Structure 1
Amino acid sequence: MNIKLITVGKLKEKYLTEGIAEYTKRLSRFCKVQVVELIDEKTPENASEAQNNQIMAREGERIQAKIGSRDYVIVLAIEGKQFPSEEFSQKLEAIAVNGYSDITFIIGGSLGLSKAIKQRANLKMSFGLLTLPHQLMRLVLIEQIYRAFMIQQGSPYHK
């Protein structure tokens, strides 16, 4: 299985980079992980809704260019479905059983994701109503992917 994490914006904090590297290493037993960082658009102060939509559209085009035609796409969106860890693990397993070998997770920029990217998604997923920094969300997501594989293995990691 191949897991791709497409994110908008660069990760600068060393502690987050180290955490993501650790979970990527742990995941290498189960899958290949690729992290794709895309440039985020600069948003002017007091940007209009139209300007925000244009920015999201440009970011969306860059995201779309990195999605494979046969990828199962999961976008992180506040309006998405929330999963307990066990159910998320079952969902990843079901995706693989249904013939998908490439799963792409997408974390948008500070404005969110364009309509086109949300429409391309096979699944919209949410980690709740909390607002988290996008950089921190990367670490949380990759840890949950690792946890999902450990649950599938019956590992005590999840306890």
Structure 2
Amino acid sequence: MKIKVITVGKLKEKYLKDGIAEYAKRLQRFAKVDMVELADEKTPEKASEAENQEIMAKEGERIWAKIGERDYVVVLAIEGKQLPSEKFSKALQQAKLSGHGTLTFIIGGSLGLDPKIKKRADLLLSFGLLTLPHQLMRLVLMEQIYRAQMIEVGSPYHK
């Protein structure tokens, strides 16, 4: 089993890097973890809607190149399903049982994601309606993936 987390933009904050590294280390007993950090496009201060769409398309091309044909793709999107941790864990278990060797999670850039990437998703997932920094979302996602694994094995971590 492999877990791939594709993100747009560079992570700078040490405390976030440390937290993500900790969860990646904990997940190693369940899966190989691959963190893929892609460059983001520079956005002009007063970009038009057309410029924003072009930026998302360029970032989308970079993301697309990192998605495997047989990957189970979870895209983080505000309009996605909100699942309790137990149902999230079940969804990941089902993906594994369905023969997907790689669970791929995608966090887009500050403008969002190209619709082509959202269409490729097996699951559009939302962690709520709050706006969170994309860098912090990486840490939250890693903790939730770890929590899903702990739920699967019956660990008291989730209690």
The question of a shared fold, defined as TM-score above 0.5 by the shorter chain, is answered with yes
Other-structure match for 1:155: 155
Give deviations 1:26-46, integer Å, cap 9, x for gaps: 000101110000000011011
Give deviations 1:116-140, integer Å, cap 9, x for gaps: 1111111100001000000000000
Other-structure match for 2:62: 62
1:74 maps to a residue whose letter is V
Other-structure match for 2:44: 44
Other-structure match for 2:125: 125
Other-structure match for 1:74: 74
SS in 2 for 1:66: coil
TM-score of the aligned structures, taking structure 1 as reference length: 0.99
CA distance in 1, matches of 2:56, 2:110: 9
CA distance in 1, matches of 2:3, 2:76: 15
Aligned structure 1 segments of 4 or more residues deviating by more than 4 angstroms? none
Count of residues in Structure 1 that have an aligned counterpart in Structure 2: 159
In the TM superposition, what are the counterparts of 1:3-152 in structure 2 within 5 Å? 3-152=3-152
SS in 1 for 2:65: helix
CA distance in 1, matches of 2:115, 2:86: 29
CA distance in 1, matches of 2:58, 2:133: 21
SS in 2 for 1:4: strand
1:79 maps to a residue whose letter is E
- Runs of 5+ unmatched residues, structure 2: none
State the identity as a percent: 73
CA distance in 2, matches of 1:103, 1:149: 12
Give deviations 1:90-139, integer Å, cap 9, x for gaps: 11001101111111000000000001111111110000100000000000
Give deviations 1:46-88, integer Å, cap 9, x for gaps: 1110000000000000000011111111100000001100110
SS in 1 for 2:112: coil
CA distance in 1, matches of 2:8, 2:81: 21
